[in-house]
Structure 1
Amino acid sequence: MKTLLLPTLMALTLLAGCGDSDVQEVRTWMKQVDAQTKVQVPPLAEPKTFIPFAYQHKDELDPFNPSKLLAELAKQAAQAGASGLRPDTARRKELLETYPLDTIKMVGTIEKKGVIHAVLQVDRAVHQVVVGQHLGQNYGRITSIDENSVTLKEIVQDATGDWVERQSRLELQESKENTK
């Protein structure tokens, strides 16, 4: 019995130490500080009054009128149409126009009867081309052939939809056997 009495007595003593003795002092101090403290909030500034802009030139053309933009676009289209640069879509396409330019490799040149032919490889097939033939998917036309490259002019559309010429080049691809 003594063994149970001693732990029970100690537990009661510890619980008595956790009593509400100092909490009342803290609560009275908080009430006193709360009563003395005054919150100062600065008043909000008055909002500025909005004065709408009055468009004085009623008889003149509104700068944001869509018809003004359409007139300018029509003028630019007329100037672009005057240059006449367009691909010939009525022409029958050649075989090498079905392949993108980056899949075509130049592997050499051959001269036949004084005319230089470029030897091009697509996949595993080999093709011979001359100046004037078409090549690639962007309406490319071969303009010159030399021992190391094939130069061509492509007709592509720019960001505004106008057709422009772009020069491209296929460089000679040396095989691994030649470099050893």
Structure 2
Amino acid sequence: MLSLSVRSSGLPLLVLAALAVFAGPAGAACTDVAQPGVEWRRCYHDGRNLTGADLSGATLRDTSFQRARLAGANLTNANGFRTRFVSADMQGADLTGAEMSEADFTKADLSGAILRDADFRRARFFRAILRGADLTGADLEMADLLHADLSGATWIDGERVCGDGSIGLCE
């Protein structure tokens, strides 16, 4: 039986126990090992080294990867709705079939990344580096590509390669 004694925080132990029980699974899952199908919702992985990690089929909704290293990572079929990859190193990452609508890739380096058939509706690529990236079949409806470097990227039609100096649009 729990005591109703008061801790130094001023809250009864019963209230503290209830807070611990009902804190939700999101906090506990944030410490799970990077692996296929991992469920990281509303987690902070800022600055973390996940180079080459296999996060295929992972749930990354509302998670933050600011300044994280995800070079060569496998994010195929991952769900990253509203996930933040601000200033992340994602060179050569594979996001084939990923659901990344409303994700923020501001200043992220996606050089050589595979973005085939991914959903980037309303995603933000402000000043992102997409040099040599493969955008074949990607959905960029209402995506913000302001000042994004698309030099050498394969465009969504799978046929056109953006010329050198393609900033903000594929020329």
Regarding TM over 0.5, the answer is no
Q: What TM-score do you get using the length of structure 2 for normalisation?
A: 0.18
Answer 1 or 2: which has greater helix percent: 1
Q: Which has the higher contact order (CA 8 A, sep 6+)?
A: 1
Q: What TM-score do you get using the length of structure 1 for normalisation?
A: 0.17
Structure number with greater Rg is: 1
